Amino acid sequence: MDEAMSASTSGGGASHKGPVRDRLALALDVDDLVAASRLARSLVGHFRVAKIGLELYTAAGPEAIGAMIDLGYDVFCDLKLHDIPNTVNRAARVVGELGVSYLTVHAAGGVEMLRAGAEGLAAGATRPAGVLAVTVLTSEAQVAATRDLVAQRMEMAFEAGCAGVICAAPDLTATRHVRPELLRAVPGIRLAGDSVDDQRRVASPVQALAAGADLLVVGRPVTRAADPLEAAERLHRSLQQ
Contact (CB, 8 A) for 36 and 64: yes
Among 148, 197, 227, 230, binds ligand C5P (CB under 6 A): 197
Largest Cα span, the chain: 47
Contact (CB, 8 A) for 228 and 35: no
User: How far out from the chain centre does Cα 62 lie?
Assistant: 18
DSSP character at residue 145: H
Asked if 80 is an active-site residue, the reply is yes
CA–CA distance, 81 with 103 (Å, rounded to integer): 9
Listed ranges 95-103, 122-130, 218-226, 232-240: which one lies at the site for ligand C5P (CB under 6 A): 218-226
Nearer to ligand C5P, 123 or 137 (CB): 137
Residue nearest to ligand C5P (CB): 219
DSSP character at residue 136: -
Interaction mask 93-132, ligand C5P, x per CB under 6 A: ----------------------------------------
- The count of residues interacting with ligand C5P (CB under 6 A) is 15
Establish if 218 lies at the interface with ligand C5P (CB under 6 A).
yes
CA–CA distance, 179 with 8 (Å, rounded to integer): 11
Window 61-100: residues binding ligand C5P (CB under 6 A): 78
Establish if 199 lies at the interface with ligand C5P (CB under 6 A).
yes
CA–CA distance, 17 with 186 (Å, rounded to integer): 17
Nearer to ligand C5P, 112 or 197 (CB): 197
CA–CA distance, 31 with 49 (Å, rounded to integer): 18
Smallest separation, CB 86 to ligand C5P (Å): 26
Q: Which of 7, 35, 55, 80 is catalytic?
A: 80
Establish if 234 lies at the interface with ligand C5P (CB under 6 A).
no
Phi-psi region at 35: left, alpha or beta (left = phi > 0; alpha = psi -120 to 50): alpha
Establish if 138 lies at the interface with ligand C5P (CB under 6 A).
yes
Catalytic residues: 80
The residues binding ligand C5P (CB under 6 A) are 27, 29, 53, 78, 138, 187-188, 197-199, 217-221
